[in-house]
Homo-oligomer: A and B are copies of this chain.
Amino acid sequence: MNNNILIIGAGLCGSLLALRMAQRGFEVTLVEKRPDLRKVNQDAGRSINLALSDRGLRGLRLAGVEEQAKKLCIPMNGRMIHDAKGNTFLSPYSGRKDEYINSISRPGLNMLLLDEAEKMPNVQLIFNHACETLDLENASATFKNYSSKEEITISADAIFGTDGAGSAVRKTMYESHKFLFSFSQQWLSHGYKELEIPALPVNETNGENGNYRTYKNALHIWPRGEDMLIALPNLDGSFTVTLFLPYEDSDYCFANLTSPERVHEYFKKEFPDVVEMIPNLAEEFFGNPTGPLGTIKCSPWNAFGKTLLMGDAAHAIVPFYGQGMNASFEDVVVFDEILGPSLPPQREGVDWKTVFLEYEKRRKKDTDAIADLAVDNFHEMKEHTAMEIFQKKRKLETAFEAEFPEQYYSKYALVTFKESISYSEALKRGRAQDKAILNLLDDGKITEEMLLREKLELVKKETEAILHDDAVAFG
């Protein structure tokens, strides 16, 4: 029957996958090493809100939970840029009114998915069990109960490793000497630290922003060349703030921000408007961990046609495109498409090896692309948002999208809102467009006198020429 599946890791990807596979009729066992987050709060200092956009919503829609998820969402219409003097301006994500991204609570969404999975009669949830050993060739895994220290072994027809960036399943594949495993981990020179802008006290209000201390419906950015601060709103009126800072070799870096005085000095100098919004700045700074920012790629994603990596376990990316969760949910959509039309009762006789190979063939180039785009955006967000030529480009693109909504999509819009094209296509076309506009601006070929339509035609023509030249040279 081949219908027993074991999913290791009950984070966002594993929970959605469990729910969807159960809807298809498979017998699903979902094992998580940590406690049930619906019962034990455990996310201190971890990324507690995330950006949810069209590709992620498509995954939730597939499993019938989009509407419930939307209740947890706060729309963010653009980037609110804060300069060093405290001035702000809003840079919309798109010239089209209906395109925005959402701030959503990671644990909130994870709980929703676990609740829905648990309702399925063919899903078994097991928490507090860490994967100790994995027999890749026989699709069998041994788990240890954190409290009782007892071990259990679970065999399945197929195993899915959705255990995140530090995946134990992937580590087993890395260490296997029975096949060649290509693997890459790349760390940025920056780490991150989470802080909180709390909601206003119950007796205070901030005009139309209610109990939010600053504008609610935006992703706030304080770009400072090497450093950057961002903030995303939470439903309770607070913002989760993330500081991206070099580990070392900088005037201000994690290595030398070692006293409350230094931290206050740094924030007062670079982020003066933030200092007053974070009452316990130093306390939070020293109380929360510093996390690394890494990209992980690997191949093959499957071992012996029995085990498959999905989500962050297969492709961890840096957070600068807001696509980590979206990419993982899109994994589930692509995988589901490959399984073919779903008609309960349960499917029989799945050829997992063929499905796994087809999935990687279709999906790998796209997760590679979003990984590279996310690193690009790291540089764009901290440096370019402040550079004149990039601001000119952004302004032009926003005008294109507002006036010719069907004819122009910026790289950001292609990646974030255009779920009908793949990440790899978005990367190729988006980079070509960026190159075209920047060079047309630099060469003075886009002039004030031109009509917007003429500018658009010029950009399109130049983009096609770039794509053509690249195709001739690089295939």
The interface of chain A, by Cβ under 8 A from chain B, is 180-187, 247, 292, 294, 431, 434-435, 438-439, 442, 469-470, 472-474
Contact = CB atoms under 8 A, between A and B. Distances in A.
A292 B294 CA distance: 27
Given A469-B435, A473-B438, A185 B182 contact: yes
A181 B472 CA distance: 37
A184 B183 contact: yes
* Count of chain copies: 2
Nearest to A473: B435
Contact of A186 (B184, B438, B470): B184
A410 to B, nearest CB: 15
B186 A472 contact: no
B182 A472 contact: no
A167 to B, nearest CB: 16
Contacts of A438: 472-473
A442 B471 CA distance: 11
A180 B184 contact: no
Contacts of A187: 180-182
A156 to B, nearest CB: 26
A354 B378 CA distance: 28
B180 A183 contact: no
Contact of A439 (B181, B294, B435, B472): B472
A434 B185 contact: no
10 contacts: A180-B247, A180-B292, A182-B185, A182-B187, A183-B183, A184-B185, A184-B186, A435-B469, A435-B474, A442-B472
A347 B315 CA distance: 48
Given A183-B184, A435-B470, A438-B473, 9 more contacts: A182-B185, A182-B186, A184-B185, A434-B473, A435-B473, A435-B474, A439-B469, A439-B472, A442-B472
Contacts of A292: 180
